[in-house]
Chains A and B, each alone.
Chain A
């Protein structure tokens, strides 16, 4: 049959669609050279399947051949011999090697934080998944003939991106979809004799069902998927469901994941809005963290809390803190946590009894079930509290042991950090500093310098995220802030990690802070003054430095010096583990909760699509005119009730058609007779004569067309 050729064309298309499915891993892994061998193995497997299909007519034998070839290629490409050579011929020991690679890939996948650098074992696993996906889809679409339904399997690699709300490469998604549609088109083309006949025939009796399905799908896309995708106002009007935190619905996400999500997704969901009589605030802080184990920030134990009244500032500066206050009125969004966002300068709150202040962590807590959700509060903050002069003035106090005023945990350095190396870098960078302020500025400027690159495509690190970051030079705010905190501590400067939001963007009279404004920054301790924010993260994300932290002399840091400073013998990257990860995040809720409606909508869409595909499949099967029998079935289906039921013989059916309803006309009657004779011949004659499919289709079309015309005519007359 003519179907042979479409299969050969469909298989490469499916391979392309499966390969493009890796686009669904966007944001989870870092794309790079490892894609090449994946493509090669996939291509070779597809070639084997095509060749096998040329050689055999069996539907699934090519799949088996492809599976064998794919498995061998994966072993050759990713499973080295114990001595490091290539495994050309799998032996018993190859199994052990294979297990080792699989375990490594599993461990790697478990322990890396996305987006993960893909090392060989993970690439092998991805290759295996892609090749398996290709084989399954190919067997389904080409072997079994379910071209349309196979799309649901093709959807699988995109699911992680879908559920995690990640961005995927549009071209890859479009390409995969296009390839899938092409496969359907090819399979349909082979099913039917000619499209012209369909076109001539116009809409089929079942068309209303298709129209209904299409309308439902369009509505779903318009009402559910599209507003979600653009984050537009239409979506805001729709209810969003939020799961309690205990169900993992939102509030307790990892800071790491959450911050990155906020940054990479460019989450436009408003977290809060505020008005201010003194312009945009620098930052609003929720958390301040002290404990860092090399890869992860942990929350500190809650100290003694006091009612949050009066001026909130842990340091007794001996002078009125808020002389000329700026007033900020904050309206929280529908997401909340138990930490109240406050500016990072001395501030006072108009607060109720459920508000508590923890001086040891400098955090404001609120004790009510919904946390800060929809909270409206006003905070007054000291403006221009930190100045270069006041900060420099802290030096004498430092020499007097002023740092003892804060907990020693702000100087802790976990043994997993390569302290000596970090200290060496820090000392080199700050060799020209004369006081703590200059030291801080030099550290900040070093990290803002050309050696470091802001990137959310962060590489997974070893146990020592700071050393890796210093060697690698790539990271985002958490990495920059962590590095500065650790470097400061190696220089015996108490430092901590602060997490909150940047000041957001002007919005009418006030400002709006969105999910993407989530931020982490270091705060260094200046005795007699308090905790001072610095901004080591490059400007592309954070904008300007705080006014007091502008380097006054633009003494350019010598690039060559920096090169030598930068540790060249970067720590051997063993199998990487988690990147720096901080405590439960204040920003967890800013993304607006898990979009259940969207998922439900997509599920409904999938169901509609599945039904449509099934229907199309059944239809296409019934439509396939290859012999008299199928032509007869098609003709009967298209005539519907007019063609009687199954208990009629072909001759009786013919009589029934001619007797029921208006006259068909001579040509159609003749065609019907021919068709009836052909099907009787095919069914009951000893040696059935074969009629060309095109001729059969012509008869079917003639009868169906005449029947519809006749009915239309009858209706008009009626």
Chain B
């Protein structure tokens, strides 16, 4: 995997792709621009996405619209308590006529996999999905089969109705690059939504505006984005801030630093920039970090969520101003 400095044309291509996808999704999901951007950044940074919110705010719609806007294969799995790992990964079936086993790929063999209500499945089944997310391959009957590329898992989760669910353990939450709380739309957005749904399914109007190959190229471009020492310092300062914070029982892992940087690079490329800005880090800090940290008991008692704590940290960490060294010795 070589990283080359992206050319202006490559950057423009990524920016254009992001713009087109955004346009398509906007027709379906008015008011979810931040969520859409985070989603796009996640896919370009080769991460996975966890959508966590109450039912009916458009989690699944977002996932499906994304699948349609990108001319890619989409697999969908509705997680239920009785879902088996093989229902996810696929199964080898015996073909009597040919006297051999044939592998029937599961829904995970797709560019975009929508895993609805992932916390409803048994931990074993969850593990099967999470493993394939990590490995980008599926091993069935001792045979490893690579998953297509690009590969994005969009898992949704309902944080309210927790009865009879198996909440994802921290280690597995850590595998998702970003978590997005979709949130309720504003009143204007909700009216726009009603208009859009008036008499027809807006999802049907979403056109595919990018191919898997386009995405592959964009992903390669993102890898070459430059992050200056000042930005890396800022990023590390923020991540370390979560570890030093008295409001958090568990801070963000080093893996989260890596993923935050990758996501920030994707966001920079989407803006047509060849370098990361602290703004990229700032915008993505909550989606990338909030689901990995655990608020301390007293913070929870004070009604402070992980998101609030991270925003506080962002409001505390100074953005480094990289002064030229000679500026200090100047007479």
Give me the interface of A with B, judged by CB distance under 8 Å.
1, 3, 7, 59, 142-145, 147, 187, 190, 624, 626-627, 629-630, 632-633, 646-652, 680, 682-686
Contact = CB atoms under 8 A, between A and B. Distances in A.
A683 to B, nearest CB: 5
Contacts of B320: 683
Interface in B277-331: 277-279, 282, 314-324, 327, 329-331
Nearest to B315: A647
Contacts of A630: 323, 327
A649 B319 contact: yes
Nearest to A628: B324
A647 B228 contact: no
Interface in B245-270: none
B314 A187 contact: no
B275 A685 contact: yes
Q: Which secondary structure dominates where chain A touches chain B?
A: helix
Contacts of A629: 321-324, 327
Given A7-B331, A143-B331, A145-B331, A683 B230 contact: yes
B324 A685 contact: no
Contacts of A680: 277
A-B pairs with lowest CB-CB distance, top 5: A145-B331, A646-B318, A686-B226, A649-B278, A684-B228
B5 A142 contact: no
B45 interface: no
20 contacts: A59-B331, A144-B331, A626-B327, A627-B327, A629-B321, A629-B323, A629-B327, A632-B321, A646-B318, A646-B319, A647-B314, A647-B315, A647-B316, A647-B318, A648-B319, A652-B282, A683-B321, A685-B274, A685-B275, A686-B226
B63 interface: no
Contacts, number: 75
Contacts of A144: 331
A202 to B, nearest CB: 26
B62 interface: no
Nearest to A146: B331
B154 interface: no
A652 B322 CA distance: 17
B136 to A, nearest CB: 30
Interface of B: 5, 226-228, 230-231, 274-279, 282, 314-324, 327, 329-331
Given A629-B324, A683-B228, A649 B277 contact: yes
Contacts of B323: 629-630
A1 B324 contact: no
Nearest to B314: A647
A683 B318 CA distance: 14
Contacts of B274: 685-686
A630 B331 CA distance: 15
Nearest to A688: B228
A697 B320 CA distance: 22
A147 to B, nearest CB: 8
Contact of A59 (B277, B322, B327, B329): B329
A651 B320 CA distance: 13
Most B Cβ at <10 Å: residue of A187, A647, A650: A647
Most A Cβ at <10 Å: residue of B5, B319, B323: B319
Contacts of B231: 684
Given A144-B331, A646-B319, A649-B277, A627 B324 contact: yes
Nearest to B319: A649
Contact of A684 (B5, B230, B315): B230
Given A7-B331, A624-B327, A686-B228, 4 more contacts: A646-B319, A649-B319, A685-B226, A686-B5
B282 A649 contact: yes
A281 to B, nearest CB: 65
A616 B321 CA distance: 23
B301 to A, nearest CB: 27
B283 to A, nearest CB: 10
B243 to A, nearest CB: 18
Contacts of A650: 277, 319
B277 A651 contact: yes
A144 B331 CA distance: 6
A629 B322 CA distance: 8
Nearest to B225: A686
B2 to A, nearest CB: 17
Contacts of B319: 646-650
Contacts of B279: 649, 651-652
B240 to A, nearest CB: 15
Contact of A633 (B316, B321, B329): B321
A244 B95 CA distance: 120
A685 B228 contact: yes
Most A Cβ at <10 Å: residue of B316, B318, B321: B321
Given A683-B322, A684-B277, A624 B230 contact: no
A181 to B, nearest CB: 17
A306 to B, nearest CB: 75
Most A Cβ at <10 Å: residue of B231, B278, B315, B322: B278
A668 B230 CA distance: 28
A187 B228 CA distance: 33
Contacts of B324: 627, 629
A632 B321 CA distance: 10
A626 B331 CA distance: 12
B80 to A, nearest CB: 45
A323 B200 CA distance: 141
B330 A3 contact: yes
B275 A684 contact: yes
A624 B330 contact: yes
Contacts of B322: 629, 682-683
